[in-house]
Amino acid sequence: MMEATNFLQEILKISLVALIAYISYYYYKYFTRENPLPGPFPFPFIGNTHQVFKNLSFDISKFQAKYGDLCEFYTGSQRFILLSNDDLIQKIMKPTVNGPFHNRVNDDDDGLKEIGLLNTGLSFNNNYTDWQYHRKFFTKVILSPSFIKQSVIAVQDSFLEMEKYWDDLGEDTVFEFNRWMKQYFFDTIFITTTSNRACALVNYYNKVTPNEKLAVPESILKESSTFVESIDAFVYGVQYFFVLPRIVRNLPGIKGYTQYLKDKISWLRNNVDNIIKSKREEISKTPIDQELKSDMLTMFLTVNTERDITERIADDLHDKPMSDKVVQENFIEVLSAGVDTSSNSMCFLVNFLENNPKAKQRMIEEIERVLGKDPNFSFTLEDLLKLEYVEAVIKEASRIHSIVPLFFKKNSVPEVIGGYKWSKDTYFGLNICGIHKHKSYWKDPETFNPDRFMDNPESKNKIYMFGGSLRKCPGRNLAMMELKATLAMLYRKYDIELLGPLKEHIGIVRCCDEMKIKLRKRKKW
């Protein structure tokens, strides 16, 4: 008994010494850090995570207000330099080939490695040559006019389907607009990238309708509602595993949620694998003399094979077919970007328009002038390009309510930012929310005023709706088209009543958690 007691005492002593040593080293590194900046005082193990990641939501604006445009914060032992002024980020946003700010994360980031996102696909791929290759795919397909024109048809078809369900539910129905937008954009992006239906809208309708359920067409996608939920978990998981230190993720009471996110991401990957297998089978059953469907997933699966339809996207360094693992990551990135950002953007757009009736009326007048007063008129990409004020509305909503509020970058060589020389591998947080509402660049920055993008062409150079540098969102044309088309179809047919304020939280993407509305068919066309 005495020996056991002595053993426990020794263990406690060793643990105490280790704890004191860690804390001493932590604060030695803190007090001897290069270029000390204003910022909250960090704590061992967690840094400022409890302040930055408050209530599972980023809370950066208060940092800028308290500590200025150039300040710092910590998550665990990782230091971040927060930049909240457009002048401070110009060098970082410069589109330089293989430049010093290409990477977003460290090569050994344990959180992203834990969920299998490091050095694959586009977002967190530090291998420039590999990233450039994948980027060519996205640029070739998503930015091509033919793909955008095909998507114009898909978005109209999806809206017409959704409209039938809305009309069936009736004008007394309280619609959870944020949930409808998730299903709508998921159906749209799924059919444009796979040439197959996801049937998310009809499944959601069957879930909420008090009427007779509709027959669901056969689809390669099972459990569409769970799939959409898993995409949400994937997007949130990126932030969660990147920001929260491992020790925090595994604390009692938090560890269960960590495992929940990992399980959701694993479920998503397994089901994407099933979609890939189904598409491979479809390709193999298509006669060699018959043309394959020219969707993105087919391009991923046929590159560098005898059925290659990519028109020589591959290069000398990438002469082998894509593995299923690489296809999986690319496909998940497309789905998550196409669903999450667009659906949340639509919620905030409608909220701004309903609270700014003059801007809404001017937008409706432009829609009717360009597309005509027939609410069933089928429009083209060329028609949408003429909707200049609609685009200004979208940009202004994005300026005030940035969908991606914070970008992360790190330097691969020593660089001077903000008048300070920073060692390589310094993390920079680009506070897009703060920059978009900085009084030095924007007059009355809190006021919703789309005219600032009509009257001043230079305004477009100060907005980072789709990011910047060479990592600028390759799906920007597609996203803008979808938002324009959806606003046009929504407001030429419906009057909208907001039922209370929307609820949101800010993560790696600004998310609308709840938005309840009523829809009434417009009386005048």
Give the single-character DSSP code of 441.
Answer: T
| Residues 6 or more apart in contact with residue 438 via CB below 8 angstroms | 69, 84, 85, 86, 445
Does 473 carry a binding-site annotation? Answer: yes
C-alpha closest to that of 484 among 346, 358, 378, 354: 346
Q: What distance in Å separates the CA atoms of residue 6 and residue 147, rounded to the nearest whole number?
A: 72
H or E segment to which residue 407 belongs: strand 406-410
C-alpha closest to that of 17 among 27, 28, 25: 25
Q: What distance in Å separates the CA atoms of residue 506 and residue 511, rounded to the nearest whole number?
A: 6
**Dihedral sign of CA atoms 375, 381, 386, 390 in order:** positive
C-alpha closest to that of 30 among 55, 5, 17, 47: 47
Beta bridge partners of 315: 318
Residue type, 104: R
The answer to whether the CB of 422 falls within 8 A of the CB of 508 is no
H or E segment to which residue 27 belongs: helix 2-31
Beta bridge partners of 518: 497
* Positions at the binding site for heme: 473
* Positions at the binding site: 473
